[in-house]
Structures are given as C-alpha cells and as structure tokens.
Amino acid sequence: MEEKKSAKVILRELQDKIAQDVWDAKNRGEKIGWCASNFPQEITTAMGIQVTYPENMGAAVGAKGGGQRMCEYAEGMGYSNDLCSYSRINFAYADLKECAEQEIPMPDFLLCCNNICNCMMKWYENLALELDIPLLMIDIPHLDKYTCDEDRIRYIRAQFDDCVRQLEEITGKKMDWDHFREVMDVSQRSSRAWLRAIASMSATPSPFSGFDIFNNMAVACVGRGTVAAAEAFEALADEYEELAAKGETTFKGEEKHRILFEGIACWANLRFTYKALQSRGINLTASVYGPAFSFLYQNMDELMAAYAYVPNSNCFERELEMRVKDAIAHKVDGAVFHMNRSCKNWSGNLYELERRFREETGVPTVMFDGDQSDPRVFSEAQYETRVEALAEIMDERKRAKEAQA
Amino acid sequence: MGNAMGTDIYTLGADIGSAASKCVILKNGAEMAASTVESAGAGTGGPARAFEGVLAKAGLRREDIAMITATGYGRNSFAEADLVISELSAHAIGAAAFFPGVRTVIDIGGQDAKVLRLTEAGVLDNFVMNDKCAAGTGRFLEVMARILELDVTQLGDMDGKAEQSAGISSTCTVFAESEVISQLAKGTPIPEIVRGIHESAAVRTASLVRRMNLVLPAAVTGGVAQNRGMIRALGQELGCELMISPDSQLCGAYGAALHAYRKAGQ
Ligand code: SF4
C-alpha cells in the first residue's frame, strides 16, 4: 500500500511540476511569459497560458547561494546596487541566459503589475527593450485611501479586459469566461485553505515552525488557481489543525516565545536567521505572508479590489491594522522587522510601522538590516545582538507575568 | 583581601566591543573596586589585557571572582566568562545603577548608537539601534576629528569656543567629510566647524530617540558622553536635560558585573 504523502511533499512536488510545465510549454513552441508575483494569476490560469516568476527565481537563487554572484554581474552591467536584488538577479539572467542555481525558460512576453512596487514597472520595461518582446501592464495605483473605490475598480477592470485581448493576440489562445469563473472559485478554495493553515498558528504551541511559510508560499503565489494547489493547501490546513488539536508541533524544541516576522525572508541567510530564533525557543507565528497570498472575492469587481489590497499597495493604516490584528490573533510576544534594502516600497515606512506596531500591541520589537537575496547587506553579528536582546526582554516580561500570577 | 575573609563578593563584567575592551570589578554589587579600558576589541590582545589589568588593579586573582559576565560584540569568544548577556541588557542594568529612575538611555558607542527604554522598575523594556549607517555614531566624530587634525577628546573643548555654528548639513560620514574640507578651505574657524559637526550628529541621534518616543529622565552613556559639545547639541535638539556620568564609558561593563553579582547571589 502506498503511504499517504505529507502536504509538504505534495506542495514540493507541485512546485516542481509547475516549473516543469512552463519548460514543456516552451519546448512545444508555445508562447510563455515572465510574470510579476501579484499579477492576477486568474487570467493566465484560465487561458491555459504558462508563465514563470522571476521573483521566485530570485528567491531560489538567493537561497542557493548565487545571489551575490548574480547581483555583482548585474552591477557590472551598469545596474545600481540600490535596485531590488530580484531585479538584479533577473537582469543578470536575461543577459547570461544561464544560472547554476536555477534556470527558467526565456520569455516571449511580459506580464507586469505594479501593485507591489513601481520598481517592477521599470524592471519589466527594461526587459521588454533588452529582449525586444511585448510588455503587458496592469497599473494598480497605490491605495491612498482605506478602501478601493468604484473609480479604481473601473480603471483596473478596463486594463484587465484589455490585457486579456492582447494575450489572445499574442498567444493565439482564447479566454473562456466560464472557465475563468471556475478558476475564480478554485482560487477561493486555495486562498481559504491557505488562510486556514495560517490561522492554525494561533494555537499554543503553534502546530508548525513559522519559517515553513516561506517555503510553502511559492505555490500559494503562483498556483492557487489550480485544483491541485487547492487540494494541497486543504491537506496542509488539515494537517496543521490536527497537530494543533493534539497540542503537537513541528517546531524543534520548546516554544518559549512567539514573534511576528515582518518582511521578506533573507533567503541567503535563511538558516542563520532561523537558527538564531529557534535556538532561543522563538517561533514565528505571524507574518504578512499569510494574508499576502490569499485573495478573497465574490465577483469580478471584488477581484479587482483584492489586487489593490495586496500588502505593498495599501494605505499605511490598513498595512498597520493587518499586522496588529495578526499579531494579536496569533499571540505574539515580540516582533522582528527586516529593513530590507532591496524593497523600498516595503521598507520606506518601516520605522513608523515599527513604532506604531509597538504602541498598539505593547510588545517589544527589533529591526535589522538585510536583503532578500543580496547577502552583502546582512550582518550576522548585528542580527544576533538584536535577537538576543529581544529574547532577554521577552524572558524578563514572561518572568514578571508569571511572578504576578 | 576582603574575599580572603570570605565576607565580600567580587564579580566582574567584561564589555568586549569591536573597538575597545572594558572590565569592571564590583565589590558586593555596589562599589567599583577597579576598572580598565583597552582600546583594542574582540579578536585582539585587548580583552586579555583588560581582564588581567583589572584583576591586578584590584589586587585579586581569578579565583577571587565569584562570577564573570561578558557582553558586547566579542562576548561569546571571551573564554573567562561564566555568563553572557547582550549589550542592550548590560547597558540597561548599568544605566539603571548609574542614574536611578532613568527611563531613556542614549548610548553612543564607536560603531553603533542605541536608545534604550527602561521601565519604572529599571528593567529594559524596548530599544532601537542605528541601522548599518555610521552617521550619529562615535565613528562619525572620529573621522571628522581626523580631518581637523584634532584628537576626538578635544572636540568638546573646541565646541565651547565657538561663537556660532558652521552648519554641516550632511549626516552621511563621507559627504560631511567633504563639507568639512570645504569649510576649512573657506577659512571657517575650527570651533565653528566642530559645533556644526556636533549638531549634525545630534540631529541623527535625535531621530533615533524619536523612534522610541522620548520619556524623561534621559541619560547619555558611551564614550561620546564625555564630549560636552555633543551633549549640549543633543540636549538642544531634544529640548531636554541629559544626565551624564564620568564613568559613562563603563556602563556596559558595570551592568555586566552587576548582572554577575545578581546571578552569584541566586
Ligand atoms: S522592490 Fe520589493 S516589491 Fe518590488 S519586486 Fe523587489 S522585493 Fe518585490
């Protein structure tokens, strides 16, 4: 009898399959695209168009130790080291067309969406020029208000329809709107399951080591419109809920403290950043990646709005609220903020976000310098000192609380 | 020796920084029996010299010390230590002893600047540290002093002689360096340039303080606390009085020694 696979294994296999599908399509002579991580995946999934994500490649290359080499190569081409390291790795790859750590097929078109940042726009514009291929853009303006209003929805919708028309022309594939609605439903299933998996972290102890989110989110990002992904996330959520019900966890050691980790992981220093926390009994139980890759909507208009609510596109108060709610629901004792030198959009308001977060939750926080894929910006000693001091403060508070009780 | 009579408890705190090593021996957790400062940090002979020096000054041997706590960047490589704590906790303990009732501690060291918030009970509650940039740290002042051909210890007196400030607007060390050079070329009196440098560094440090919200009373520790010009500029920028101590440079080592004393008693 075949043993039941764990959700983790299913997700990893699914991730490999998604990557292979793009290569297969390319080899069959189909037109494939490079796509921004928060581009509405419902379009490409419904049209059966294969795309791959340079940001995910940037993360993988960073995690496997190629980030510095690729970034330095891009800087040698004349790109500023102030640019996002995902873009630098991608510029290097677009020129070299090879990379020992991971390769993706070269694109025939580009799908850009600037709801995460405007760096994205110049990055893709540049690729379009360099590779001489079409660039399709969905412009989602930064939300300066709390809610996405009618005008914005209409503005996004018009581009949405135009993008589908252009994709039909480029790829020769037709949009089937009935199938589109099915993909919407499946995406909802995935998103709800992903959120259910994340919500299980409110249990004490949290049923899993929070750094696992960083591994699982790749599929949440790219594959959530497929039934296979929905099933995988449902299996993941079931597993976590089962563990939580039994009071068990995959976190190694006693969960002494729980934290919110703000920002993208330092892929190149993932082990170090994890170990410094885990060795002190600190588990990650809140991260904006939970809500970041779940898009909840009931209809087309809500779908448009959902893409305007991605964390980086939001007004400050909504950004803050998302973190504070998450931190309270998942009972954190502290927070670690990653001042990510790559991501200006994310880091620009981080000092204020940290200050307000601290005020509203009352928990101690620390901030460290780093970068998602360029290890030159990260200092082990700086990180270690901050985490150690945070652990001491959390220890002290716990002692005082226990003494009071 | 008191210890030989078995009544006194001596503990030692070692603050092994990246640029300096400092040791303090405390008698019964209250009286500073001896201290040393060596201007060589982790990975050099500095820590050993500071350690042997402080024992010699106090007339004690290693066996006479009940407990040793190390802190600072090189804390984990200091073999003599029984215990290790982060420099944030060490500074908080030291500052609470130096300045009873203090709520905000601004520590400006050679390579970093930090602001600590203490509870009313004198326990570390939260903190912020500078980012990777050297602006607002002791290193900024050192670089500026070098261009002016001064020793960093002369900056405070120089500032006192200024009638006005030259206005150095850059907080970036590299940019400020060229601003200072052009002020020199213009013939601006050195005291005025020094005052401008202090004001620039104070703006940067004050922004770090504001990230924590300033709660009074506040104190300044670290080597820079000896620089009266800098303390004046920072007090002005923050609009408050700042407490200092002649031993402010030893705050971390003192806190570590006190930590060792508390642990020794447990
Ligand atoms: S700048 Fe930030 S949001 Fe934009 S691509 Fe880079 S990491 Fe993503």
Residues, chain B: 266
pLDDT tens readout for residues A292-318: 777 889 899 999 999 998 887 788 999
How many CB atoms neighbour CB A302 within 10 A?
A: 15
CB contact, 8 Å: B126 with chain A?
A: yes
CB contact under 8 A, B89 and A389: yes
Contact A370, A341 (CB under 8 A): yes
CA angle (A44 as vertex; A315, A311 as ends), nearest 5: 15
pLDDT tens readout for residues B33-60: 999 999 888 888 899 999 999 999 999 9
A351: three-class secondary structure by DSSP: helix
Q: Beta strands B113-118 and B104-108: pairing type?
A: antiparallel
Q: Which chain B residues are closer than 8 Å to A369 by Cβ?
A: 131-132
How many CB atoms neighbour CB B169 within 10 A?
A: 11
Q: CB contacts < 8 Å between A and B, how many?
A: 49
Query: How many whole angstroms separate alpha carbon A17 and alpha carbon A6?
Result: 17
> Which phi and psi (to 5°) does residue B152 adopt?
-60, -30
> Can you tell me which atom of ligand 1 is nearest the CA of A36?
5
> Which phi and psi (to 5°) does residue B101 adopt?
90, 0
Query: How many whole angstroms separate alpha carbon A400 and alpha carbon A186?
Result: 48
Domains annotated for chain B, with CATH where assigned, are 10-94+251-264 (3.30.420.40), 100-244 (3.30.420.40)
Find the domain containing A68 and state its range.
7-142
Look at residues B105, B93, B45, B41 and name the one whose alpha carbon lies nearest to residue B69.
B93
CB contact, 8 Å: A398 with chain B?
A: no
- Is this complex scored with an ipTM above 0.90? no
Residue nearest to atom 5 of ligand 1 (CA): A120
Residue B7 to residues B11, B13, B27, B265, Cα–Cα distance (Å)? 13, 20, 10, 13
Query: How many whole angstroms separate alpha carbon B108 and alpha carbon B95?
Result: 13
Query: Mind telling me how many Å the CA of A194 is from chain B's nearest CA?
Result: 33
DSSP per residue, A50-114: -EE-HHHHHHHHHHTT-HHHHHHHHHHTT--TTS-HHHHHHHHHHHH---SS---PPPSEEEEET
Residue A368 lies in a domain: no
pLDDT tens readout for residues A225-267: 999 999 999 999 999 999 999 999 999 999 999 999 999 999 9
Contact B175, B197 (CB under 8 A): no
Residue nearest to atom 4 of ligand 1 (CA): A117
Look at residues A288, A294, A235, A232 and name the one whose alpha carbon lies nearest to residue A41.
A294
Which CATH number does the domain housing residue A36 bear? 3.40.50
Does the predicted model carry a pTM greater than 0.80?
Answer: yes
B243: three-class secondary structure by DSSP: strand
Q: What is the pLDDT of residue A2?
A: 65
Q: Would you call the peptide bond into B217 cis, given omega within 30 degrees of 0 as the criterion? A: yes
How many CB atoms neighbour CB A152 within 10 A?
A: 17
User: Which DSSP category does B75 fall into?
Assistant: G
For A223-315, where are the alpha helices, taking DSSP H only? 227-246, 270-278, 289-292, 300-308
Sign of the dihedral defined by the CA atoms of residues A275, A277, A282, A283, in that order? negative
Q: Which residues of B221-242 are buried (b: 16+ CB within 10 A; e: fewer)?
A: bbbbbbbebbbbbbbebbeeeb
Q: Please tell me the distance between residue A19's alpha carbon and the centre of ligand 1 in angstroms.
A: 21
Q: Which chain B residues are closer than 8 Å to A358 by Cβ?
A: 126
Query: How many whole angstroms separate alpha carbon B151 and alpha carbon A82?
Result: 35
**Host H or E run for residue B210:** helix B190-210
CB contact under 8 A, A396 and B123: yes
pLDDT tens readout for residues A46-95: 999 999 999 999 999 999 999 999 999 999 999 999 999 999 999 999 99
Q: Please tell me the distance between residue B53's alpha carbon and the centre of ligand 1 in angstroms.
A: 52
Residue A212 lies in a domain: no
Two structure tokens written together for B99: 């300045």
Q: Which chain A residues are closer than 8 Å to B73 by Cβ?
A: 381, 385
pLDDT tens readout for residues B170-198: 777 778 888 888 888 889 999 999 999 99
Residue A124 lies in a domain: yes
**Host H or E run for residue B97:** helix B87-98
Q: What is the pLDDT of residue B6?
A: 64
Residue nearest to atom 6 of ligand 1 (CA): A84
Q: Which residues contact A38 (CB under 8 A, 6 or more apart)?
A: A113, A115, A116, A307, A310
Q: How confident is the model at residue A283 (pLDDT cuts 50, 70, 90)?
A: very high
Q: Beta strands B21-27 and B10-16: pairing type?
A: antiparallel
Query: Mind telling me how many Å the CA of B153 is from chain A's nearest CA?
Result: 27
- Number of compact structural domains in chain A: 1
Ligand 1 neighbour A116 (Cβ under 6 A): yes
The label of the residue with tokens 């299996």 reads: A235
Q: What is the pLDDT of residue A199?
A: 94
Two structure tokens written together for A23: 């290569």
Residue A263 lies in a domain: no
Query: Mind telling me how many Å the CA of A355 is from chain B's nearest CA?
Result: 6
HSE-up (13 A, CA, CB side) for residue A276? 20
Q: Is pLDDT above 50 for B1? A: no
The label of the residue with tokens 């009873």 reads: B100
Residue A194 lies in a domain: no
Task: Nearest chain A residue to B211 by CA: give it.
Answer: A355
Residue A197 lies in a domain: no
pLDDT tens readout for residues B116-164: 999 999 999 999 988 777 666 788 888 888 988 988 888 889 899 999 8
Q: Please tell me the distance between residue B74's alpha carbon and the centre of ligand 1 in angstroms.
A: 35
Residue A167 lies in a domain: no
Residue A313 lies in a domain: no
Q: Is pLDDT above 90 for A193? A: yes
Task: Nearest chain B residue to A368 by CA: give it.
Answer: B131
CB contact, 8 Å: B51 with chain A?
A: no
CB contact, 8 Å: A276 with chain B?
A: no
Look at residues A268, A275, A258 and name the one whose alpha carbon lies nearest to residue A336.
A258
The label of the residue with tokens 């991260």 reads: A287
B18, B73, B128, B259, best to mutate vs chain A, most A CBs in 10 Å: B128
B132: three-class secondary structure by DSSP: coil
Q: Is pLDDT above 60 for A1? A: no
Query: How many whole angstroms separate alpha carbon A56 and alpha carbon A98?
Result: 16
Q: Is pLDDT above 50 for B4? A: no
